[in-house]
Structure 1
Amino acid sequence: MYGHARKRLLQMYLTNLQVNVTALGFNPVWSDWRDIDYTPDYNKFYFITDGEGWLKIGDREFYPKPGQLALMPEGVRQSYSAINDKPYTKYWCHFTAKIGTINLFDLIRLPWMIDVQEEDGLPADLFKEMLRLHRADTLSSSLHVNACLLRLIGYFLDRAEPIDIQLAHAETSDLLRAALTYIDDHFQRNITVRELADLTHMHPNSFIRLFKKHFGTTPIQYVNRKRIDSVKRLLTSTGLTLSEIGERTGIPDTSYLSKLFKSATGLSPTHYKMLAGRQFD
């Protein structure tokens, strides 16, 4: 569905996604449930289980039905209200979803509403689990709640994808796609920030700031991540020596390669390969 560069950009965004649930619940609303033209500084999910009502997100109006999952992103003007004496019962959560310093839904445009098949209990199960964990209030509760939210976002993305996903800020996205494609094609040699900045017609410092703002990592850190991923693959699928792997992945200094690999994985290359069931020759 996506070209390689566009898909890579989307994957890079999602790899660096940081989420946090700030409020959640399951309850009916009442006939006075209403707010007009407000702009939240958080994202919301509504999963409707019963009743009727009205939502407006940006310039679009919706009358969600039970079994529909609504996404209401931060920074977008919204309204809601009951429309009769049988208003909604819904699961809901407020949350942040940041890539670097940017809201996920400013970068990736999605439809605001998806249908959940009647036999698909996953959204309700995820909301129930988040509520259970939130009430448990253990040391790790927030970690598990946020993990459930990540699954819910993934669920929404998977079902929105066949409809359409538009990358926002097309010019910036084109620049970043070009940089990622260049890195994918040339990470085996010594890529410099100057090369990448020249490719995007930017000053190196401006390029670094743009890259880190969108991905939460610097260009060189990303290049090294690509190299380490390639090292992992070669360690577990070939009989190449560490020196040969270093030559192929742009890190010919085996001492530095070992240090970088351990920093990224917590394991030496030898230990990593041993755990994968192989030994260096």
Structure 2
Amino acid sequence: MSYLEFNTPPFPTLITEGYAVFEKGTKHFRRVFSVFDLIYVKAGELYLTEDENRFTVTKGQYIILVPGFEHYGHKGSPVKTEYYWFHFLIPTEYDLVDNGLDNWGDIHVVQGDHVNPSLYKLRIPCYGEIEHNHFVENIFDNILGIDHQAPDYRLRQQLHFQEFLLHLQKEACKIPTAAEKVVELTVAYIQNHYKTEVKMDDISRSLHFHPDYITRCMQKITGITPNLYLNKFRMNQAKKLLATTNNKIANISIEVGIEDSTYFSKLFKRLEGMSPIEYRKVINRRQGRE
């Protein structure tokens, strides 16, 4: 296995991103990129060849395709396949090495002082499986879900992308913390139950942890409370429905677990900066449907 080794800061820079769906039988097209291409499969299977090395990327797995190497799909997907993709560059020198890091502490190579920053070395597998996939998919949804009308949206996306890279390095070092495990379970519970009423007591009983401990873990790992994560996840699901259906706002509100459509609209505007109707109009204009 190859590991992508680079020093940081600065962090790799996210360029563009997206979410794609391959119908059964579709193959990835042939190309050579001048930037890195990270692909994470949410459902299904991708068959990719890079520099004559063949890879099968299945649900929960990812691959980092390296600049200058030709890559293409050598076989059609056997089932409908959904995946996230991210193009990024590394502004410093990088290398492909044969061994990873065994100790999380080894990432810190130079201690900073009052005028010089600390220096870190990351060594990330170019191909692997995500253990905390709910946690990572939430990061990806946050990257894709940021309002593109906001002038700082690329900066905010970059912060999420950096969080993902650090998480990837932690998983490669095999050191998921207890707090990360609690967060993964909490996120999974919310994603499985968001269409119904979700209370902290319900999460607590399911996970067998005190509500305050669950909240502290969520704030430590994700920076937000379970309730805010629930609301943001519901809004992400609502945005998908607003963009892909003509359902009424009241019906979408119920579908994402909020009975009061007035409250839903207020919450949507508070979190997304525009009303659901305005969001649908923006998407329709962007997709040429108006």
TM range (shorter): 0.3 to 0.5
Structure number having the greater helix percentage? 1
Structure number having the greater strand percentage? 2
TM-score (norm 1): 0.46
Higher Rg: 1
TM-score (norm 2): 0.45
